[in-house]
Amino acid sequence: MSANHAVIWVDHAQAHAIYFTAETHENLEIKAHAHATHLHTKSGAHGSGHTAEDKRFFDDVATSVSDAKKILIVGPGVEKTLFFKYLSEHHPRIAANVVGVEAADHPSEGQLLAHARKYFVKADLYH
pLDDT tens digits for 2-45?
A: 578 999 999 999 999 999 988 899 999 999 986 444 433 333 44
Query: What's the pLDDT score for residue 2?
Result: 55
Domain layout of the chain by residue ranges: 5-122
pLDDT at residue 3, as a whole number: 74
Give the span between the Cα atoms of 67 and 34, in whole angstroms.
27
pLDDT in tens, 93-122: 999 999 999 999 999 999 999 999 999 887
**Per-residue pLDDT, 20:** 92
What are 108's strand-pairing partners? none
* pLDDT tens, residue by residue, 51-96: 456 899 999 999 999 999 999 999 998 999 999 999 999 999 999 9
The CATH code that applies to domain 5-122 is: 3.30.420.60
Q: Which pLDDT score, from 0 to 100, does residue 91 have? A: 97
Give the span between the Cα atoms of 34 and 57, in whole angstroms: 10
